Amino acid sequence: QVRLVESGGSVAQAGGSLRLSCAASGRSLSTFVMGWFRQSAAKEREFVAAISWRSEATNYADSTKARFTISRDIAENTVYLQINNLNPEDTATYYCAARSFGTVYATEASTYKWWGQGTRVTVSA
C-alpha cells in the first residue's frame, strides 16, 4: 500500500508562485511513476505532470509545461510541483498520484493506482 499526502495549496495572487508537495510512504518508489493532476469545478480531472522516480524523466501537459516543474527528492520521499506565474485558470484541487510501473507518457488518470486527498489552490486576479 502507498500513502500520498499533499500539502502546499493556498490562496495566492496572480503572478505569484506556489510549490506543492506530495509525501509518499508505504513502499519503495524505485520503479514508480509519480503524477500530478488537477480538477476544477468546470473541468474533469486533468493531467498536469509526471516524473519517473528512477530516471527523473518528466512529462507535462501542453497547458502546463511553460510554468510548471515537477521534481522529486529521494531522501525525503517527496514529489514537488512548482507553479510559477500563477493565473486564475490554475485554480483547482491538485492531486498527487502514483503507479508502480510504466512510463511518464501515459497521462490517463485511470493508469494511476494510488491517490492523495488533494490540496486546494485558489488564484485571485
Percent of the chain with pLDDT over 70: 100
Are 20 and 7 in contact by the 8 Å Cβ rule? The answer is yes
Cα atoms found within 13 Å of the Cα of residue 98, Cβ hemisphere only: 27
Neighbours of 52 (CB within 10 A): 17
The per-residue pLDDT of the chain, averaged, comes to 96
Cα atoms found within 13 Å of the Cα of residue 82, Cβ hemisphere only: 7
Q: Please list the helix, strand and coil fractions of the chain in percent, rounded to the nearest 5, in that order.
A: 5, 50, 45
Alpha carbon separation from 16 to 55, 63, 80, 87 (Å, rounded): 30, 17, 17, 8
| pLDDT for position 94 | 98
32-50 tens-digit pLDDT: 999 999 999 888 999 999 9
17-33 tens-digit pLDDT: 999 999 999 989 999 99
| pLDDT for position 42 | 86
